[in-house]
Amino acid sequence: MNKREFLKILGAGAVGLAANSLIFKSCFLIRKDGQEKHKNWAWITTDLKTPVDEWKRKFAGMHEAGIHAILPEIYGSRRAHYASKHLPVDENWLEMILPAAKAEGLEIHAWMWCMPCNIEDIQKKHPEWFSVNGKGESSLDKPAYVDYCKFLCPSRPEVHEFIQMTAAELAQYETLDGIHLDYIRYPDVILAEALQPKYGIVQDREYPEYDYCYCEVCRNKFKEKTGIDPLKLQEPSENKEWRQFRYDSITNIVNDKLIPIAHKYNKVISAAVFPNWEFVRQEWYRWNLDAVMPMLYHSFYNEDMEWIKKQTEKGVMSLPKNIPLYSGLYVPQLRPDELTEAVEASFDGGAKGIVLFSANAMTDAHWKYFSKAVKS
């Protein structure tokens, strides 16, 4: 997609708020007796090696086991796995699996990373697009935690346009059911408890090296609004307006920049979100999505099944009633019998279904237990 084509999509009046009933219908499954049925999903991490016949077999198995929709990782901040015109392309994986998934009765929603950008060409041409931490270091030169944490600044119109172009390209795949947003957030200012020792760090409060974004654009925007330069705050974490400013920067991208594009093409739009949303500045219960998928990865927080239930309940309560919540479960840390418990905890907490992370991690035994749990 070139700039002219993109601007045409965003042109005056072209982007309507077409959140019609079709979109909502596709998020809920209604049984013949009128009762609502759970809808189950599976994330699929990029896998370009498996041949199409094997995918067909896998998709048939997933459908049989109680999965209704798949979320393949089509763009993971480096290369696109579809015929993009604005991103570097690997293989046209989406084009290969799309008909195979549909033929097996599955919905398919393209999973795209949003804020991190690991494309060398963009890094060279637009270093100013990258987020800056409280010490004045760019995430491009000094990424937090791991090398790929090169997050873009959420306040810049050029960044919005870059992310919108990916969504716009995907939205135009006629048979695609939806777009799934991932990494639609800031870097973690505080990592989940169980992950901190992995990186050899203790985060007992918000430290400036993990706190974003203090770039000129963000600082000026906040200053215009409040008269305060956030860099001069003694304790930035205690300033409510500065917190809200950052929540709003992401909410604005979701609600005003991405949802209208998806809805214009009648696509469902969903997102993977954090249960501890404050630490990634992700106020997701204010997002007008068609589905929300909190990643209830209990082991990351040293928690158990009861926590999955409580987090599901908390999420359901915080969302408007018409937005379904699907509990994201972390398969590598669940034995097959534990997966049954996690599914039950999610349903008890009011989830409209399950999202598995990931289909790639499911063994035959996992599928057996999962199928039994979601069909009982």
Q: Which is nearer to Zn ion, 158 or 256 (CB)?
A: 158
> Measured from the CB of residue 166, what is the shortest distance to Zn ion in angstroms?
20
Handedness of CA 255, 260, 265, 266 (dihedral sign): positive
Q: Which is nearer to Zn ion, 218 or 272 (CB)?
A: 218
> Measured from the CB of residue 206, what is the shortest distance to Zn ion in angstroms?
17
Residue with the two structure tokens 């249960």 = 275
Cα separations (Å) of 130 from 125, 208, 317? 11, 16, 35
Which residue from 27, 67, 117, 153 is in contact with Zn ion, where contact means CB under 5 A? 153
253 forms part of the interface with Zn ion (CB under 5 A): no
Q: Which is nearer to Zn ion, 220 or 302 (CB)?
A: 220
152's CB contacts (< 8 A; 6+ apart) are 115, 116, 117, 129, 130, 131, 159, 162, 163
> Measured from the CB of residue 126, what is the shortest distance to Zn ion in angstroms?
13
Q: Which is nearer to Zn ion, 149 or 153 (CB)?
A: 153
- Give the span between the Cα atoms of 298 and 307, in whole angstroms: 7
Q: Which is nearer to Zn ion, 129 or 274 (CB)?
A: 129
Single-letter code of the amino acid located at 29: L
> Measured from the CB of residue 257, what is the shortest distance to Zn ion in angstroms?
16
Which among 17-25, 151-159, 176-184, 363-371 is the span making contact with Zn ion, rule CB under 5 A? Answer: 151-159
> Measured from the CB of residue 211, what is the shortest distance to Zn ion in angstroms?
12
Window 77-96: contact mask with Zn ion (x via CB under 5 A):
--------------------
> Measured from the CB of residue 216, what is the shortest distance to Zn ion in angstroms?
8
Which residue from 98, 179, 218, 334 is in contact with Zn ion, where contact means CB under 5 A? 218
Which of 354, 355, 358 shows the shortest CA–CA distance to 331?
358
140 forms part of the interface with Zn ion (CB under 5 A): no
Token pair recorded at residue 165: 């172009």
> Measured from the CB of residue 182, what is the shortest distance to Zn ion in angstroms?
20
- Taking the alpha carbons at both ends of the chain, their separation in whole angstroms is 46
- Give the span between the Cα atoms of 318 and 278, in whole angstroms: 14
Helix pair angle (364-375, 52-65), 10° resolution: 40
Enumerate residues 188-217 that contact Zn ion by CB under 5 A: 213, 215
DSSP string, 136-202: S-BTTTS-SSSTT--BBPTT-HHHHHHHHHHHHHHHT-TT--EEEEES-SPPPSS--GGGTGGGT--
CA angle 81, 85, 89 (to 5 degrees): 30
Total binding residues for Zn ion by CB under 5 A?
5
> Measured from the CB of residue 129, what is the shortest distance to Zn ion in angstroms?
9
Q: Which is nearer to Zn ion, 138 or 155 (CB)?
A: 155
Q: Which is nearer to Zn ion, 191 or 215 (CB)?
A: 215
Which of 143, 163, 147 shows the shortest CA–CA distance to 155?
163
Q: Which is nearer to Zn ion, 68 or 246 (CB)?
A: 246
Residues that bind Zn ion (CB under 5 A): 153, 155, 213, 215, 218
